Amino acid sequence: MSIKARLNQRIADAMQAAGVPSPCSPMLALSGKPQFGDYQANGAMGAAKQLKTNPRELAQKILDNLDLEGIADKLEIAGPGFINITLNNDFLAQQLGTDIDHRSADPQTIVVDYSSPNLAKEMHVGHLRSTIIGDSLARLLEYQGHKVIRQNHMGDWGTQFGMLIAELELHLGEGEQADLALNDLEKFYQQSKKHFDADPEFADKARAYVVKLQSGDQHCRNLWQKFIDVSVAHNLEIYQQLNVGLRAEHIAPESSYNDDLDNVLAALIEQGLAVDSEGAKVVFLEELADKNGDPSPMIVQKSGGGFLYATSDLACLRHRVGTLQADRILYFIDARQSLHMKQVFITGRKANFVQPEVSLEHHAFGTMMGPDGKPFKTRAGGTVKLADLLVEAVERAEKLVSEKNPDLSIEEIAVIARKVGIGAIKYADLSKTRTNDYIFDWDAMLSFEGNTSPYLQYAYTRICSIFRKAQIEAEAFTAPVKLTEPQEKALAFKLMQFEEVLNQVAQDCYPHSICTYLYELASAFMSFYEQCPVLKDGVDSDTQNSRLQLCALSASTIAQGLDLLGIEVMEQM
């Protein structure tokens, strides 16, 4: 149990003993300022209001019932009724020596839907968010002992594929090889779009091919498969470069639900949820009605008989609940899909595809904007390819690493540059609040100074360097910790908060909290490093061992935290 959880429990009990009706919340938070101690409990003020008593008197009554002997040094009532708690140094030191079980007491089956690119085009920088935020959550939940099922809901079944198949047929007809023609997917898409817009005959063929493909025509199916294979291979390559845990076995594309769409529709009709409207089959949702009371429509079958993504998302939802047995389903998808996701969730529940206890969560995120604050486009009007961003990042890192550390071999530099460059990109994205729109800026994203992943990696290498010099294995090292310098205490206190942060993120799915935490931890380590010599002359052996222990714990926490973000560490940089 984390220190925070323990304090929370004790204070809640004390509040109850002081006459606060349950449930009573201590409202425990980290103190904002050093003079206010380590934690502050803000619950007395709200409770006093409820009881119509004086908040400071109530706070005193709570303190009278609160026993933190051996845990806290100082308990103070301040301001209108804050309870400030200063932890005991020996308690903190002793806590550092105990192993905390990071595994959840209630392991669940959790489906994590992320990345889910459209296979018609190459991945661009806009795909970064879903891919790395989702991956981070998958790693964290796995670390906590949940059964995580990654699902990459790739878009392989849309209208555009008719156009792409027709284009591919054209190329193959001229004797070209498929993988050569598809070497540049972006270019291929543009060519095909050009044909579609300029040539009515081509356009008709493209439209016909969509229908043929979806009804199982072998010729179209073969062409489609060729295209998909190339596109999937491209995506898997990107995942590998990004150190993202998505593999071929996690791909559950739209097309895989095709055979179930008729069943979904039949179920919706049978339950009276889907009705005829303007020739289409539509589900009307009063739950999402506007202020005039007009319900929100969701088309589940087009007037021509074709299906849309609402239907395949419903089939997908039913599969995840019924077959995959999910307790919780997390969707990491663009905020523009918010209405669609609400419609799917509500319909899924009304149709009994989803039991009430299953948690459906759309964790949306904002749109990538350009430097002008408008939705991001390159000067040519296109997007930046993800592959190009990764190449640029590694190149910049390579240049810097070889400048900073010329003694390293070419091979070492290449490995370090990859970890630094990719880490910087991921961290730049992960460290921002998920839900807001955000500005894409090359230099900010590829910065290696300040609050960036190289800063964290650098802290790690500094610790490695100490252990290398001492000729001690960091992982195996254990020694009692004593906290005398303020930097030592600050570092120890930060180390103890790791679990609290992870629990929070596992719940609200905001991995930027992990970034903030790791930056604060690394920052506390840097101050400690400057102020508290470890191996230098004049440091007695107890102090040296205690500091080595703090170093070892800092290294393992930073490495573990970065691993949860999918960022790698290295011994030297």
Partner RNA sequence: GGCCCGUUAGCUCAACUGGAUAGAGCAUCCGCCUUCUAAGCGGAAGGUUUCAGGUUCAAGUCCUGAACGGGCUACCA
Residues 211 to 240 in contact with RNA, rule: CB under 7 A: none
Contacting range for RNA; rule: CB under 7 A; set: 175-183, 190-198, 432-440, 557-565 = 432-440
Confirm or reject binding of residue 60 to RNA (CB under 7 A). Answer: no
What separation in angstroms does the CA of 48 have from each of 18, 55, 77? Answer: 11, 5, 14
30 or 180: whose CB is closer to RNA?
30
CB 371 within 8 Å of CB 443:
no
Q: Among residues 444, 478, 484, 486, which is the contact residue for RNA, using CB under 7 A?
A: 444
21 or 533: whose CB is closer to RNA?
533
Residues 62 to 81 in contact with RNA, rule: CB under 7 A: 78-81
CB 107 within 8 Å of CB 326:
no
Report the DSSP pairing between strands 39-41 and 82-87.
antiparallel
CB of 535 to RNA, least distance (A): 4
Contacting range for RNA; rule: CB under 7 A; set: 59-67, 243-251, 259-267, 527-535 = 527-535
Q: Among residues 316, 397, 496, 558, which is the contact residue for RNA, using CB under 7 A?
A: 397
Q: Which two tokens stand for residue 272?
A: 């009276």
Contacting range for RNA; rule: CB under 7 A; set: 67-75, 86-94, 101-109, 330-338 = 330-338
What separation in angstroms does the CA of 335 have from each of 37, 312, 342? Answer: 39, 19, 11
Report the DSSP pairing between strands 109-113 and 328-331.
parallel
User: Whats the size of the chain, residue-wise?
Assistant: 573
Q: Among residues 71, 172, 308, 384, which is the contact residue for RNA, using CB under 7 A?
A: 308
Report the DSSP pairing between strands 368-369 and 438-439.
parallel
CB 24 within 8 Å of CB 43:
yes
33 or 379: whose CB is closer to RNA?
33
Determine the 3-state secondary structure of 77 from DSSP. strand
Show the binding pattern over residues 83-112: x = contacts RNA (CB under 7 A), - = does not: -x----------------------------
How many whole angstroms separate alpha carbon 540 and alpha carbon 415?
38
Contacting range for RNA; rule: CB under 7 A; set: 127-135, 176-184, 301-309, 384-392 = 301-309
CB of 34 to RNA, least distance (A): 10
The Cβ of residue 89 has, within 10 Å, a number of other Cβ atoms equal to: 17
Q: Which DSSP letter does residue 568 get?
A: -
Contacting range for RNA; rule: CB under 7 A; set: 38-46, 164-172, 179-187, 324-332 = 38-46
CB of 122 to RNA, least distance (A): 15
Please name the amino acid found at residue 369: M
Percent helix / strand / coil, the chain, rounded to 5: 55, 10, 35
Determine the 3-state secondary structure of 64 from DSSP. helix
User: What is the spatial order of strands in the sheet that 274-277 belongs to?
Assistant: 274-277, 280-285, 296-301
Show the binding pattern over residues 488-517: x = contacts RNA (CB under 7 A), - = does not: ----------------x---x-x-xx--x-
Confirm or reject binding of residue 571 to RNA (CB under 7 A). Answer: yes
CB of 419 to RNA, least distance (A): 10
Q: Which of 347, 345, 358 is nearest to 269 (CA)?
A: 347
How many whole angstroms separate alpha carbon 12 and alpha carbon 25?
6
What are residue 280's phi and psi, to 5 degrees? -105, 165
Confirm or reject binding of residue 9 to RNA (CB under 7 A). Answer: no
Q: Among residues 323, 374, 409, 540, which is the contact residue for RNA, using CB under 7 A?
A: 374
Q: How many residues sit in the footprint of RNA (CB under 7 A)?
A: 107
Confirm or reject binding of residue 118 to RNA (CB under 7 A). Answer: yes
Q: Which residues contact 231 (CB under 8 A, 6 or more apart)?
A: 119, 120, 156, 182, 185
Please name the amino acid found at residue 228: I
423 or 566: whose CB is closer to RNA?
423
CB of 175 to RNA, least distance (A): 31
CB of 24 to RNA, least distance (A): 13
Confirm or reject binding of residue 338 to RNA (CB under 7 A). Answer: yes
Contacting range for RNA; rule: CB under 7 A; set: 97-105, 143-151, 378-386, 393-401 = 393-401
Place of tokens 């790693």: 139
Contacting range for RNA; rule: CB under 7 A; set: 65-73, 168-176, 232-240, 289-297 = 289-297
